[in-house]
Structure 1
């Protein structure tokens, strides 16, 4: 990968005297390393991994290092991200006994030595160390690997998605899409065809604001099992722990509360019909305050041993509390990869 600022001279046009990049005809390159540091600091600092499960308490304290190169090239609206970065985190853990007395407190590091655009579709290598290698220290380290890795990888995927959409250049690109244009460049005149398209995009954006920046996710999945069995898997916390490999507390009563994915998702049961319907309020910890979504799962068994699940997940915000516009994409991927596909993998249900 070429270093930032060392692009092929045939493709980088010298700056004009007036500073304009007309129609983004040549490559406009943005240094994204400071933005990347800010992204990981917001996403990973003070991130709770375990909060008492198994009498273990683990959290990421801070981001120690984000080094390397990160940039985005834009030409005529086409975004080409490039990055090779090394990320180092500090974490701390504590083990307590059944009475809440501290047994050991440890510190350690998490390093991802190579997060790169060429491996954007793969999770990076992750190395976890702990300063105390005794039995309790090793137990805390193993818990950090088992429970921390999925949460950290989720944040890395959010970074990859954000870079693919322009990183810090995204706002500039959006502004150019909706910027009003005039025939003479200063106001007045008859709009050209391209200006009519821009005006339509402005109206589309206004309509999106009218929906308060939320989206709906719909999915249909087919399983080779009884509807009542699939319903039980989703509503039984021990089975949930089994197929997600994460901690969960799930009430089976209407009005009862639940916590899944180690507390990343919390909510309330709104309506339950055994083997037929689950309606719940869902909220992710990274969402803006006061935002709740609604999950509706219907179970249909057209023939014995075959169940069709229909998911409707409404009021999913487009951005999280940090301004990352990847919530809808990550939520949809979570349903597909972390729930539906893992049910098949663990319990052997086929399509």
Structure 2
């Protein structure tokens, strides 16, 4: 950020005698790299991954490296996180026989090359290596991939959520938050609001979300039509059966098959509630990404039409998709549409062989 006396004066604030940035109205930036190192070390160190299952014992040791940049910007009281970091940590494993005698002890490493705010709604790539690539060493490594990768991703999501809430600047933000009886002439009172920001200050009840966002700027719709050579009931079952979902996406899911039931997809990145279900014909769901502003839900409508036996046309309509996420990224609509195509419909074809 430019210093006073330099750059565009519209973005610069002359120092007040008391040094106060009132209500965080002016741009304030906090370096979070060291804070990120400390938090990720706390989250990822000394984690038990496997404790005796299959006569294996695996745990993480410590975070060896956190490099890159991380900061929190606050403008008009709005949190704008920015980070691009890589993380390295070490782990150890042991295989024992049925009598508890050690067969092999190994050391390994985990590399997370890219954790960034632009991909906050996606899980990062994780690379796992082991020092001994023999049969037992590979078995220990495979166990880490199976059991440890979800644990590591869960901890990374905690970090991402902590940054979204303000990281080390959160306390300062709370202290300087405008009071409810603030004068109407104050900057916070006259600041123009956006559709994605209003629910952060005053959460909208889920039942009112569609009504409140419909027709407002900042929201768009997605429409896709896909053809599959299979029965309509097959596609419906894949979408509504959590074990099949896990099979083709290789990610965790929890799916309740009842109207009013909740679901969680892609390791919790997507959550929602079933609104209407007709087996083999219709799925209507209230649906959101975790990176969207609080209180914002879209509506997903999937229809399954079987014009002839063995041919199914799936029509997707998703309304009230916010153009920006809580971090200010403006690629939400494009990423959501790409996710349906590449991570869901394409995966169904690739894994189950339902061609176009």
User: The TM-score by the shorter chain falls in which range?
Assistant: 0.5 to 0.7
Displacement after TM superposition at 1:18 (Å): 0.7
Displacement after TM superposition at 1:347 (Å): 4.3
Structure 2: gaps (5+ residues): 211-220, 286-298, 320-325
Distance in 2 between the 1:272 and 1:130 partners? 46
1:173-206 deviation digits (Å, cap 9, x = unpaired) = 57756434655xxxxxxx33856557999xx669
- Residue 301 of structure 1 corresponds to 305
1:18-45 deviation digits (Å, cap 9, x = unpaired) = 1213575764221213432354356545
1:60-91 deviation digits (Å, cap 9, x = unpaired) = 46545435543234455576655454423233
Contact 1:228-1:274 at 8 Å conserved across structures: yes
Higher relative contact order (CA 8 A, sep 6+): 2
Q: 1:94 to 1:231 in 2, by over 3 A?
A: farther
Q: 1:100 to 1:212 in 2, by over 3 A?
A: farther
Displacement after TM superposition at 1:116 (Å): 5.9
1:268-296 deviation digits (Å, cap 9, x = unpaired) = x9x9865246799xxxxxxxxxxxxxx99
- Residue 36 of structure 1 corresponds to 36
Displacement after TM superposition at 1:306 (Å): 0.5
- Residue 188 of structure 1 corresponds to none
- Residue 185 of structure 2 corresponds to 192
* Structure 1 segment 1-351 matched on structure 2, within 5 A: 10=6, 15-21=15-21, 27-41=27-41, 44=44, 60=60, 63-66=63-66, 69-76=69-76, 81-83=81-83, 85-93=85-93, 106-112=106-112, 115=115, 126-145=126-145, 148=148, 152=152, 156=156, 159=159, 163=163, 166-170=166-170, 172-173=172-173, 178-180=178-180, 182-183=182-183, 191-192=184-185, 196-197=189-190, 208=202, 211=205, 222-225=225-228, 226-234=231-239, 239-246=244-251, 274-276=279-281, 299-301=303-305, 303-304=307-308, 305-308=312-315, 336=340, 338-340=343-345, 342-347=347-352
Please give the TM-score of this superposition, normalised by the length of structure 1.
0.54
Q: 1:157 to 1:96 in 2, by over 3 A?
A: same
Distance in 1 between the 2:269 and 2:100 partners? 24
Displacement after TM superposition at 1:168 (Å): 3.3
Distance in 1 between the 2:57 and 2:337 partners? 28
SS in 2 for 1:139: helix
Distance in 1 between the 2:178 and 2:201 partners? 13
Structure 1: gaps (5+ residues): 184-190, 281-294, 313-318
SS in 1 for 2:88: strand
Distance in 1 between the 2:119 and 2:268 partners? 29
Distance in 1 between the 2:97 and 2:254 partners? 21
SS in 2 for 1:275: coil
Displacement after TM superposition at 1:213 (Å): 12
Displacement after TM superposition at 1:230 (Å): 0.7
Contact 1:92-1:107 at 8 Å conserved across structures: yes
Question: What is the root-mean-square deviation in Å for CA atoms of aligned residues?
Answer: 6.5
Contact 1:277-1:296 at 8 Å conserved across structures: no
